[in-house]
Structure 1
């Protein structure tokens, strides 16, 4: 009875305080049914109108209802991210909210939930709500908990991790700020006082970020939870409690983040150090308890070599646990102090998080390398990547994004960011920006101003612009470049030393700004990698000439310490002696990261295989590092073990990535190769080319459009016994092609058209492919091809359209045995042109060809295919081709097997030597496999 009285008094005190506090107050009475995975909830919301407007309705975020079906914004987001799990989940696995009734000040009220936005709840008020007034809204409803495999929050094997599990009032700021649940963990909710009674079966334990006490009566355990000025309420409910509490001073940190072989004393010491380090920057933590859930780390881990399998042991256990905990703790600290609109204004919160990570590692782990203990291994320690410090990875990742035109402005709304930028690149860029300001603003301390900003705004709604205003009031230096360009655009910074003139006691230097982003940059004088001189330069918008005293340096460098997130560091060097090569040549075994001190040449063992050359062993000489470059070359001399001959390939490419233009990428280059196309017969193919790749609507748009042109020169060695016409030995083909693709996970559309012109023929072709994944998880695959010769004076079928297996006269397909007519290598197919699998009596078309290929999924990767086509040759009637069979579609376009059943040849399955009729698709190009895996991330 005393326990009930205590809880009642607690409720009354909280309610009394709210009358005067102008803080939203939520009281919840909830009971968990572990058999049905449902929570029955009675909720009272005291909502205060803090605006200057009269409100006739109040909106709530009803995020548990985002799981109700496969048409919600959350469901569509999963599909955008190439995840089919939710789409094909059963209704039992999904969640929902069922509203039983809503009242306003004890009178029944009307409410609305739309199909378009099922995670919003609109409650119509019975009386207008004036500014500074409050209203009591009561709701009775049921929440069905989804499985946690969708967003990591939910239920799994009697473990419940709950977040955003109840109705939360939206914020009104000249308008209602309403945001769909998109698995971004960015619910925008005002500071709220909570009083919660939560009942669970007595054998369950509840962990929460609120203050909690519990008592048991009969078979029920009741928890009383309270919290003042909190945001969302996190709950972990489980039979086996894996949370550990660490207490120091008046704070409790409860966590279940995994650690290996560390005792609690060490963990407690690490947590204490982390907490006080963050407190030094952000001030006192406003609450007495912090919950750090493993889920929070798993959804936003420390990206890097710590994610390698544990047996590789990139880092020691203490560092591993420390950096994990610090990432989660610092984010939780920031999120609880400031109320940011993290959907629209997230850069400062993310920037502070990364900045604290940088400062923490800088202080306590300056010796730790990006690849950890792997950097000490023999064969690795001589690589430049092994010398990369842990904090250097932030610059590296930013450059990776910028070099591929994958970066987005820091003010881009969060739901419009690519997954890569939302999770990694934009966080890094924001943190690097603050670190850069720390170095540049010598009259204004960034750590001091972070503390001042935190002290003034703790417990308040805040905008990132307020921090900029504070900095501008504290410094005399111009920050417009940071505010206008660094934050609001994806412009790149790139400076270079154009020219130097040595004088008797000074050096005259011409510095060029290669981009339309004018930012401060430092000039360094270097000798033997030691800094002898440095100076900040500002206002360089084109070319500027400065004169500095000569003071014992023999090299000049811009941004030597990489304090500025610059697009290209390779062009920042000049030797005072004006040598032909400003940087010495460095030969490196295997590909490495850029070392801006050297001109790098990498030599890497490579291999390939075809039936005629056997195993082709070679050494690739290339300038390509792990970061993209504008100019790339690669020369690969090889030795063919079967033919005992020299072979190889070479390529040169110039690539230009315009900023904010209709063209995303322009590339021009030339490639060539020499291998065998038949036993004892070699070919040489030279291929100058150009590519225009058009911009996507956004980086979340998976579609792509490209225009490609090439001129292929082929010289095939003639066989002494050759009976085929000599036109197949030496020829040139001009090719112009346009392609469009939108490879969404449910609806995959691809269109392409090509014009080919040679001295003996010209032809035009069109291909359309549509792949549909139905709600029953059944795949339908349709492909249409039409090709016609505009003129054709050839004497063979070598250049004809192929019904089944193209001859590949442009040498663009990876055939293992391109000239084979029997044996296993003749059974490899590339689905192109006619797309048939059976070899029919009429296999080529020298006039026109039209085919339709279809396959229907039966179960998982087991499909049935049907193909029909019309083949027209000169002076012959149209040949109608048809076939069907079984398709084992293990990995689309990478690994497939076809078993023909019936065709123009009759029942193939009963024909002699049926095994020779089986066809397969096999692609072993790492780039193709990589592109398949990374879908939806960039």
Structure 2
């Protein structure tokens, strides 16, 4: 112990007094116990008061305790991401620090308090003045958690990846207040760049790799915020590469197989030189790439497609490995350059990484398509059908545009400068990374001649190893840029305005071509206009968008097309109004284009998509037709569709159509407002048609992007006109207008999942109110207990039929909103279709309710795909007393929520398996809804 402290102080003296004055120094002596998965730590701090005032207390972060249980902030974040590993973990798999003793340099014990598990408040015996040093010692034990939670910790095969498990001094802001941070696994934690020295005792069969550098006796580093240690028993999982020109040594904390390794080794020199050329040298000669980085910085979209019986290779091994390797290498390189506040200034490093990735693709694979070589591999009768899709022509860098547009058109985007821990998972990628990277790429084009990347390189070199802020970056670029860039820092990054420029018209005069450009938002940045002939740019110029309307003038020439911000130069909300013809039939507009099947929209054309349609019900049999619409693979605000169909069961024409417009207002309580209308004409019974037309409006309230809550109102008017059998008298169930007003909410949290709605309905003959609450509690990783409560009551009911009654076993779908295979069937297998609505009983009770009903539905998993269910309720019909009914049975979930079977057992009808024709009592659900599947998959992302 004495030798350890002697060597520590000797090393500190040798390192230089001037360095000790500027940075903190942290010395660690660690003994790893692989049997208990524990570390015994002796830690020494030499800390500088870097606050603007005198302090009498000190905070240390104890982030190992973030793994200590269900009530930590880390577990809350993981549950938001729908990851329950920590929540349902066993005690021995969790982490934490204990047996903590803190002393000063005189070896006197210091009093401390543990706050919120992760913060240690130390009361200092004397005042700690600005710029002064203090020395502390700490002894403690760290229980290393399973890496199943964050990929830091111990793996099942006995390897260790360690980060954030040692005590870390907190930082102080410019006002002298302590900045306390919970560990959330965003790689967002900020610390002062410090000098580190580590001695780690481990079993001889382990090999060690780290961000720290080995000096022959110990591991050290200067100006480092955090470091990682990787310990493995398998030599194959440790690869190193030395770039001789700059002396950088790259260590990989994961294995490449014998096929990949030669490719990777051949790619590394070029990629490291590329990064050095654009960012300058690292402050260290050591670069460590961890398995966690490999998994979380995946370059998605380049993996082979596993198409059931065969595999489709989209990219060559060199392309795939190059893109994947550059993604993780650039992340580690940028992260090691300098330090930032990763909560407030996250976009600076993330934007640089994706900007560099775009530049790398431009330089290395300029012709690489987003879908790789797939269009050339698929042939039908010698024809390559995929080449007819615009998606097949998109370049690899168009991926950033597509993800950005996907989010922004649904109003799920957030401002770039939003704190990192307030961004949704998708926006951490799309806004902090993709949108910022796109904008840096745009600034690079705007400044021209490589000016932007030279500015970035000089900034990186001048601040190598330092703690910098976005204000430092702002000041450097504005002071050194030949063109104004203040619009980016002073306006753009703080707003989520859906930026959109529009070409209004063009007019040729005797001397020039005048073009009108409209700026439809408050954006104050520049834009580019290009005039081309036969696809070749003839004139191009940059303009400042200081006014709502800008008049652009080009010399008179043989132009045939005008382009605004060509190639999606800037992340706009809508680039379909950025192209214009200057002659011919489509002057000041775009050519009309018909496309079979939906495609990625081509902004140069006004497109109409045609999708073959086929659907089945018991009366029309197969409904075969063609859907004409304007909806591309990316959603758009204004949508229309017309779908004529042939009913094979009747030989008649059927079909549907609709139009709707969605508004995504900024800075309001609404995320979206949708208005629209639709019509449908089909059969509801044998040889009987119905015509339904509707108008509707709906609102979605603004939501916290990291929370799951969605809620809003829906209003609609449905007019139903049903064909009446010959010689029958028309009743109030054959022609009616139905008004609906519904408030709904949805909160599909991982542990506590809830849905609900309240609806008021009225027609000429009734008014009713009804509501439901559905709650599911996840008590094990794959098991949920569910309970639903439904209540409904007629305010008035003057109908002369039971058509509008509350359903008990079958839903009363008089609004024709549900896809029922046999809507009017009272017997046969189609009558056994089940929909969880209204009372929700699975046993087939042959009555409905015309006054009020209260029912509850309960489900409990028992084994794999089998659940037990129970329904109970009380109902009252007019002129009758209230009655109680129930049923129980088994649910078999072949595809949960989409294809399920219900096998009744005991009910108010009796013991149903003993009854005749039991198979006719079995119910099934069939709910193939693409939007429901998408909503299910996107949980945890936005």
What TM-score do the two structures reach when normalised by structure 2?
A: 0.93
The answer (yes or no) to whether the contact 1:444–1:475 under 8 Å persists in 2 is: no
1:110 matched to 2:81? The reply is: no
**In 2, Cα distance between equivalents of 1:892 and 1:93:** 30
Tell me which of 159, 172, 188 is aligned to 1:186.
Answer: 188
**In 1, Cα distance between equivalents of 2:882 and 2:646:** 47
Tell me which of 252, 255, 269 is aligned to 1:272.
Answer: 269
**In 2, Cα distance between equivalents of 1:584 and 1:426:** 36
**In 1, Cα distance between equivalents of 2:32 and 2:730:** 81
User: How far does the alpha carbon of each residue in 1:77-132 deviate from its partner, in whole angstroms, 9 at most, with x for none?
Assistant: 11111222221111122111113311122211122222xx2122222222222222
Structure 1 equivalent of residue 667 of structure 2: 660
Structure 2 equivalent of residue 210 of structure 1: 212
1:239 matched to 2:233? The reply is: yes
Tell me which of 15, 19, 22 is aligned to 1:21.
Answer: 19
Structure 1 equivalent of residue 634 of structure 2: 627
Structure 2 equivalent of residue 64 of structure 1: 64
Structure 2 equivalent of residue 484 of structure 1: 490
**In 2, Cα distance between equivalents of 1:596 and 1:385:** 12
Structure 2 equivalent of residue 576 of structure 1: 582
Q: Structure 1 pair 898/450, CA: closer, same or farther in 2 (3 Å)?
A: same
Structure 1 equivalent of residue 776 of structure 2: 771
The answer (yes or no) to whether the contact 1:755–1:762 under 8 Å persists in 2 is: yes
Q: Structure 1 pair 878/445, CA: closer, same or farther in 2 (3 Å)?
A: same
**In 2, Cα distance between equivalents of 1:256 and 1:284:** 22
| Correspondence list, 1:511-590, <5 A | 511-577=517-583, 579=585, 582-590=589-597
Structure 2 equivalent of residue 217 of structure 1: none
TM-aligned CA deviation for residue 442 of structure 1 = 4.7
User: How far does the alpha carbon of each residue in 1:315-358 deviate from its partner, in whole angstroms, 9 at most, with x for none?
Assistant: 11112222222122222122112110101211111111111111
**In 1, Cα distance between equivalents of 2:254 and 2:604:** 41
442-451 or 657-666: which moved more? 442-451
367-376 or 764-773: which moved more? 764-773
1:248 matched to 2:243? The reply is: yes
Q: Structure 1 pair 257/357, CA: closer, same or farther in 2 (3 Å)?
A: farther
Structure 1 equivalent of residue 151 of structure 2: 152
**In 2, Cα distance between equivalents of 1:526 and 1:100:** 71
Structure 2 equivalent of residue 470 of structure 1: 476
**In 2, Cα distance between equivalents of 1:26 and 1:273:** 35
Structure 2 equivalent of residue 760 of structure 1: 765
**In 2, Cα distance between equivalents of 1:413 and 1:877:** 60
**In 2, Cα distance between equivalents of 1:923 and 1:721:** 37
**In 2, Cα distance between equivalents of 1:445 and 1:397:** 28
Tell me which of 450, 455, 465 is aligned to 2:456.
Answer: 450
Q: Structure 1 pair 618/213, CA: closer, same or farther in 2 (3 Å)?
A: farther
Structure 2 equivalent of residue 830 of structure 1: 835
862-871 or 272-281: which moved more? 862-871
Q: Counterpart of 1:92 in 2: which secondary structure?
A: helix
**In 2, Cα distance between equivalents of 1:12 and 1:606:** 79
**In 1, Cα distance between equivalents of 2:616 and 2:238:** 54
478-487 or 451-460: which moved more? 478-487
TM-aligned CA deviation for residue 564 of structure 1 = 1.6
Q: Structure 1 pair 756/265, CA: closer, same or farther in 2 (3 Å)?
A: closer
1:399 matched to 2:410? The reply is: no
TM-aligned CA deviation for residue 657 of structure 1 = 0.9
**In 2, Cα distance between equivalents of 1:759 and 1:835:** 27
Structure 1 equivalent of residue 136 of structure 2: 137
Tell me which of 702, 706, 716 is aligned to 2:708.
Answer: 702
Tell me which of 175, 178, 181 is aligned to 2:177.
Answer: 175
1:121 matched to 2:123? The reply is: no
TM-aligned CA deviation for residue 891 of structure 1 = 6.1
TM-aligned CA deviation for residue 266 of structure 1 = 4.4
Structure 2 equivalent of residue 297 of structure 1: 294
1:591 matched to 2:598? The reply is: yes
**In 1, Cα distance between equivalents of 2:388 and 2:925:** 40
**In 2, Cα distance between equivalents of 1:573 and 1:181:** 47
Tell me which of 903, 921, 928 is aligned to 2:932.
Answer: 928
User: How far does the alpha carbon of each residue in 1:445-464 deviate from its partner, in whole angstroms, 9 at most, with x for none?
Assistant: 11111122112211111011
**In 2, Cα distance between equivalents of 1:53 and 1:135:** 15
**In 2, Cα distance between equivalents of 1:498 and 1:878:** 68
User: How far does the alpha carbon of each residue in 1:638-697 deviate from its partner, in whole angstroms, 9 at most, with x for none?
Assistant: 34455554433222111111112112111111222233323343333222211121111x
The answer (yes or no) to whether the contact 1:603–1:620 under 8 Å persists in 2 is: yes
Q: Structure 1 pair 8/131, CA: closer, same or farther in 2 (3 Å)?
A: closer
Q: Structure 1 pair 5/109, CA: closer, same or farther in 2 (3 Å)?
A: closer
User: How far does the alpha carbon of each residue in 1:512-540 deviate from its partner, in whole angstroms, 9 at most, with x for none?
Assistant: 22223233111221322222222222134
**In 2, Cα distance between equivalents of 1:258 and 1:394:** 29
Structure 1 equivalent of residue 796 of structure 2: 791
**In 2, Cα distance between equivalents of 1:533 and 1:928:** 48
**In 2, Cα distance between equivalents of 1:657 and 1:159:** 49
What 5-or-longer segments of structure 1 have no aligned partner?
215-222
The answer (yes or no) to whether the contact 1:590–1:602 under 8 Å persists in 2 is: yes
**In 2, Cα distance between equivalents of 1:706 and 1:532:** 51
Tell me which of 672, 678, 701 is aligned to 2:685.
Answer: 678
**In 2, Cα distance between equivalents of 1:449 and 1:398:** 26
Structure 1 equivalent of residue 95 of structure 2: 95
TM-aligned CA deviation for residue 5 of structure 1 = 10
Q: Counterpart of 2:281 in 1: which secondary structure?
A: coil
Q: Counterpart of 1:359 in 2: which secondary structure?
A: helix
**In 1, Cα distance between equivalents of 2:83 and 2:280:** 41
The answer (yes or no) to whether the contact 2:199–2:218 under 8 Å persists in 1 is: yes
TM-aligned CA deviation for residue 593 of structure 1 = 0.9
**In 1, Cα distance between equivalents of 2:365 and 2:417:** 32
Q: Structure 1 pair 248/77, CA: closer, same or farther in 2 (3 Å)?
A: same
User: How far does the alpha carbon of each residue in 1:672-727 deviate from its partner, in whole angstroms, 9 at most, with x for none?
Assistant: 2233323343333222211121111x2112111221111212233334586x9643
**In 1, Cα distance between equivalents of 2:648 and 2:315:** 42
The answer (yes or no) to whether the contact 2:757–2:771 under 8 Å persists in 1 is: yes
User: How far does the alpha carbon of each residue in 1:745-764 deviate from its partner, in whole angstroms, 9 at most, with x for none?
Assistant: 22223231112222222222
Q: Counterpart of 1:66 in 2: which secondary structure?
A: helix
**In 2, Cα distance between equivalents of 1:578 and 1:760:** 59
* Root-mean-square deviation over aligned CA pairs: 2.6
1:810 matched to 2:815? The reply is: yes
User: How far does the alpha carbon of each residue in 1:587-607 deviate from its partner, in whole angstroms, 9 at most, with x for none?
Assistant: 222211111111112222333
TM-aligned CA deviation for residue 892 of structure 1 = 5.6
Structure 2 equivalent of residue 381 of structure 1: 387
Q: Counterpart of 2:539 in 1: which secondary structure?
A: strand
**In 1, Cα distance between equivalents of 2:4 and 2:781:** 54
**In 2, Cα distance between equivalents of 1:100 and 1:542:** 64
TM-aligned CA deviation for residue 160 of structure 1 = 1.8
355-364 or 170-179: which moved more? 170-179
**In 1, Cα distance between equivalents of 2:639 and 2:577:** 15
**In 1, Cα distance between equivalents of 2:149 and 2:522:** 43
539-548 or 447-456: which moved more? 539-548
**In 2, Cα distance between equivalents of 1:802 and 1:278:** 66
Q: Counterpart of 2:732 in 1: which secondary structure?
A: helix
TM-aligned CA deviation for residue 428 of structure 1 = 0.8
The answer (yes or no) to whether the contact 2:197–2:218 under 8 Å persists in 1 is: yes
